Copies of this chain bind each other. A is one copy, B any other.
Amino acid sequence: MKLAVTLALVATTLTVSLPASAQFQKPEDAVKYRQSALSLMGTHFSRLGAMANGRVPFDAKVAQDNAALVETLSKLPWAGFTADSEKLRSKAKPEIWMDQAKFKQASETMMADVAKLNVAAKTGNLDQIKAAFGNAAGSCKACHDAFRE
């Protein structure tokens, strides 16, 4: 229930702040925008992964900063999957536009999981971060498997 409320709030925020129309002058701009957001998110997510997987020493402040950024960035890419950008060359599969409900669900699962990762990072507890990172990584992968070439 709490999750449903959170998702509804996220969706409302996105609708209010990022109206679907007139966001991008050209479809190419929409592609560049979503790719930039996903790329930045991936960079900061992988820094959490490096700590979760023990490749770099755990630093609670670094984890918090990266998790907060990932949550902020997670809300951005979706506006870039505009209808007029479907035919442009990118890794985006046509399934994004063919099954929009499923894509939206996948995006909401990811946003919810990285929001939980941000909560976990604020605790400073590495075990909680590891668990939340694993869930978020799973939702990234599921979406990539279904919707990215």
Contacts and interface: CB of A to CB of B under 8 A. Distances in A.
Interface of A: 13, 16-18, 22, 29, 32-33, 35-37, 39-40, 43, 56, 61-62, 65-66, 69, 72, 76
A143 B104 CA distance: 39
Contact of A69 (B16, B22, B29, B72): B72
Contact of A17 (B16, B22, B32, B66): B66
Contact of A16 (B29, B62, B72): B62
A37 B65 CA distance: 16
Contact of A61 (B17, B29, B61): B17
Q: Which 7 residue pairs are nearest across A and B when measured between Cβ atoms?
A: A17-B65, A36-B36, A36-B39, A36-B40, A17-B62, A33-B43, A16-B61
Copy number in the complex reads: 2
18 contacts: A13-B65, A16-B61, A16-B65, A17-B61, A17-B62, A17-B65, A22-B56, A29-B43, A32-B39, A33-B40, A35-B36, A36-B36, A36-B37, A36-B39, A36-B40, A37-B40, A69-B76, A72-B72
A76 B40 contact: yes
Contacts of A36: 35-37, 39-40
Contacts of A39: 32-33, 36
